[in-house]
Amino acid sequence: MKTAITAGTLFTPLERIDFPFVLIDEGKIIAVSSRIETELPFDVRHLDYPDLVLAPGFIDIHIHGGSGHDVMEADDAALAAVETGMAKHGVTSYLPTTVTAPEDRILRALEHLGATIAQNGNTKRPHAIGIHLEGPFISHAKRGVHPPENLVPPNKEIFQKYWDASAGTIRMMTIAPELPGATETIAEAKQMNVHSSIGHSDATYSEALEGINAGADHATHTFNAMRPLDHREPGILGAALTDDRLTADLIADGVHVDPSIVKLFLQAKGPERAILITDAISATGMPEGTYKLGAFEVEVRGDRCEYQGKLAGSVLTLDRAIRNVMDFAGWKLQETIRLATFNPARLLGITGIKGVVVPGCDADLVLLSPEGHVMQTIIAGEICL
């Protein structure tokens, strides 16, 4: 049976439609209009949310875990718990993100995640739409909490090994562009439709440009694990903030970057090139305590996740990131939603499938209060929250 969804407002997010009517059949959106222009068919299941905002489901391109589990556990039940937790916060698609670890552990995680993606997952849980490989091709100087003994210089052959283990499902790779072999690896990844994201890097401005010229098109958790901005040597940050060939993401939790820097970032990248991520770890949605990030343990107190005094991921959720942007930068809900829906979908080349509410796209949707709180999550046309 077809499903008709009506609400107070729809943010597609590129367009606002008041009193929207969205018709769904077999997990796909088949019609979008206004109730003012459309009569409700009699032979449909009708879901009505008159006081809520309808929007595309959120897409998190950088998430390590949640609900007590890590995506590197290579375990079906653990991944299901992570996905169930994400759905509570409006996420309907994501890139499970690995961390630097011994090669055998990375390969095992990639094999499990790749097989999961190939099976297309449970339609009532968020879909893993590809893998984000964060490490081991990163800088020792800006490694953050990634274990130094497992860092590896960028290498096309090693990347091919990871690609094969994932069954061709790696969609993004964080890489330090200044490292020997980086530009060649970036160029190789581009040929395989893998997005190279510059990050965990001590690159100078010219070294960052070399990576961008080789094909890098994104920047990972801007400001964090990057050479600081200097007015005479702008470094990787100067490139991330000013080069329009790059989209860039940010952890807008008020911990990783000050609220004023969130506003600065958004002014620099604008509504078209900014993306919100969580960088969430297994502790997300859990009480304070000790949790795993890859192979090491992280102490969580309040909103801070630390390993040996360094920040180690976050407990941020994507809906909270949206509310924070509205608070920190004074943005409205519609333009902020774009940063977690259309923009990541466009980066990944899937705007004909996800990240926007138009006919032909997957019926992955979220119902929000006007303040940005998630009230209902719908995946492939089915209520999952």
Domain boundaries, the chain: 3-55+361-383, 58-348
Domain 3-55+361-383 has CATH 2.30.40.10: yes
List pLDDT tens digits, range 110-163.
Answer: 999 999 999 875 678 999 999 999 999 999 999 999 999 999 999 999 999 999
Token pair recorded at residue 282: 């297994």
Choice among 60, 70, 249, 279 that is catalytic = 279
Helix (H) or strand (E) holding 298: strand 296-301
pLDDT value at residue 84: 96
What is the Cα–Cα distance from 72 to 272, expressed in whole angstroms? 32
CB-CB contact of 62 with 103 (8 Å): no
Encoding tokens for residue 240?
Answer: 């991330």
Residue 92: what pLDDT? 98
pLDDT of residue 121: 59
Q: Give the whole-angstrom CA distance, residue 222 versus residue 265.
A: 8
Rg (CA), the chain: 20
pLDDT for 122 equals: 60
Q: Given the DSSP bridges, would you call strands 69-70 and 91-98 parallel, antiparallel or unpaired?
A: unpaired
CATH topology assigned to domain 58-348: TIM Barrel (3.20.20)
CB atoms near residue 30 (< 10 Å): 14
Q: Which residues of the chain have pLDDT under 50?
A: none
Tokens of 375: 């009230």
Task: Give the per-residue pLDDT at 41.
Answer: 87
Question: 272-298, pLDDT tens digit by residue?
Answer: 999 999 999 999 999 999 998 888 889
What pLDDT, on the 0 to 100 scale, is given for residue 85?
97
Pairing of strands 170-175, 91-98: unpaired
Q: Is 249 an annotated catalytic residue?
A: no
